[in-house]
């Protein structure tokens, strides 16, 4: 003897036919949306945190802590300092400059541009004038000049931030500048909205689980 269960009208239409890929595609889309929903807030926070950190190092720190940042343009100090690396230099009294230090100073020839090289010799005159000879670690010869350190202070390299100079150069590109000009506020607004809406989504999920 067999029994027939009552079926509500339209109930069969709610079940996808065998082999229908629509349910599988929907499941995958739902998983992708779920992963994106969890990843996006952390991604936004990471980008915002990195931006704040770079701004603090390059703009705030020099005013509060007294250091300066320089971008290495050549490979003369490789591999310790590669092109595109950013060096953090701090002032020291010129009387404290010793052999082996890596310092940044204006070279006394041509355009008097800044150079960051290692000190190989130091001489102090009777009047207190300090002159140095320097050499790039990657160069075979000593720099072809003797530099007189002017003023009361010199700048010693204290730390190196790899590749940051490339990022700074990229951010100065006109296209990137426009993207940041309009994208950064949008990113910030999106982060704020996600922070506000996230508790609401959590409450809704809890209610669904309890029901």
Q: Residue 53: what pLDDT? A: 80
Q: Residue 173: what pLDDT? A: 73
So where are the chain's domains? 72-162
- The CATH code for residues 72-162 is 2.10.109
Rounded Cα distance between 155 and 68, Å, is 9
Q: Residue 121: what pLDDT? A: 97
The torsion of the CA quartet 101, 105, 107, 110, rounded to 10 degrees, works out to 150
Distances in whole angstroms, Cα of residue 163 to Cα of each of 85, 86, 129, 166: 5, 7, 36, 5
pLDDT in tens, the chain (211 residues): 555 555 555 544 455 555 555 566 666 666 766 676 677 667 767 767 777 787 778 778 888 888 999 999 999 999 999 999 999 999 999 999 999 999 999 999 988 999 999 999 999 999 889 999 999 999 999 999 999 998 889 999 999 999 988 887 776 777 766 666 666 667 667 666 766 765 544 444 444 445 5
């Amino acid at each position: 003897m067999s029994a027939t269960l009552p079926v509500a009208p339209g109930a069969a239409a709610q079940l996808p036919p065998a082999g229908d890929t629509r349910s599988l595609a929907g499941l995958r889309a739902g998983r992708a949306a779920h992963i994106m929903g969890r990843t996006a807030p952390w991604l936004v926070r990471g980008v915002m945190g990195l931006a704040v950190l770079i701004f603090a190092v390059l703009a705030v720190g020099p005013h509060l802590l007294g250091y300066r940042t320089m971008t290495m343009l050549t490979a003369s100090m490789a591999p310790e300092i590669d092109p595109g690396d950013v060096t953090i230099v701090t002032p020291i009294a010129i009387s404290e400059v010793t052999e082996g230090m890596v310092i940044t100073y204006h070279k006394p020839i041509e355009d008097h541009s800044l150079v960051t090289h290692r000190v190989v010799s130091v001489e102090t005159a009777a009047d207190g004038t300090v002159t140095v000879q320097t050499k790039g670690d990657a160069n075979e010869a000593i720099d072809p000049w003797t530099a007189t350190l002017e003023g009361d202070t010199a700048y010693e390299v204290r730390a190196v931030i790899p590749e940051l100079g490339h990022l700074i150069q990229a951010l100065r590109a006109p296209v990137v500048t426009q993207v940041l000009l309009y994208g950064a506020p949008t990113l910030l607004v999106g982060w704020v909205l996600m922070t506000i809406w996230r508790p609401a989504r959590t409450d809704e999920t809890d209610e669904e689980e309890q029901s």
